[in-house]
Amino acid sequence: MSLSQHSFAAVTDLFHQVSGIRLADTKRALVIGRLQKLAQDAGIDSLDRYVEHVVSGQDAAETRRVIDKLTTNETYFFREPQHFELLTELATQASRTEPFRVWSAASSSGEEAYSIAMVLASQIGARGWEVVGTDLSSAMVETARRALYPMDRIRETPLAMVKKHCLKGQGDYQGQVLVSRELRQNVRFQCANLTESLPDIGLFDVIFLRNVLIYFDAKSKPPIVKRVAANLKPGGLLFVGHAEPLAQFDTGLRTVRPAVYERA
């Protein structure tokens, strides 16, 4: 199926309005690829007619499916390991008088949140900590809750953690791994749009906001960072992606090391 420039602009404008993320023309092939299956499922044999249907605003469920599909979700366990090394240090030093809380603010399909949970379980134990994962995509939130992943997603995970926290699939689940029920008990997921008012999820010792700011323009980034960082405890740390420096923005945060910022 082909997609006209008019329809590409219309669907990416809609995606920007809902998510705050602007998809450049270089993402055209990605947009076409992800819309084709949705159009087929809807029984529409033209991408232009499908986009016209979606942007008309008459089918909220279909609009949600498009937003879910266009959200970038490529990830794996223990991505950017330097942050997990620092998290290990913080968890080791954590007070045991209250739960150590970490927020995965753009949790996608849940690999980051469960990586965090593995670190906290290894350093703190089965209790005394909590991980919250949020994502724009309701489909990704449901995937994260299922906690079932292709084997390739754990390629960077320490073997000891794989053995302790992952169950290898058999039969119909060959080639997949399931995160253990014990680990999942302290991890919860829900939808949240970082460009809007956030749900009341409390304060955190550490927030992961990684590999998401690169999809926003310069004007949008500071408000998102400030909105998210408001959920940090005093002295809490915000982790961003190593390709997402915040030095040029007024965020009210202090740099403590590359891609790590502290709330005063």
Q: Which residues contact 105 (CB under 8 A, 6 or more apart)?
A: 134, 192, 194, 207, 208, 209, 212, 228
Rounded CA-CA distance 14/66 in Å is: 10
Rounded CA-CA distance 11/85 in Å is: 40
The answer to whether 103 touches 66, Cβ cutoff 8 Å, is no
Task: Provide the 3-class DSSP secondary structure of residue 135.
Answer: strand
- The catalytic position among 22, 28, 34, 79 is 34
Catalytic, 34? Answer yes
The answer to whether 1 touches 46, Cβ cutoff 8 Å, is yes
- The catalytic position among 135, 184, 205, 210 is 135
Based on DSSP, count helices (H) and strands (E) in the chain, helices before strands: 10, 10
Catalytic, 135? Answer yes
Task: Beginning with the edge strand found earlier in the chain, give each strand of the sheet holding 148-150 in spatial order.
Answer: 148-150, 176-179, 166-168
Give catalytic residue positions: 34, 135
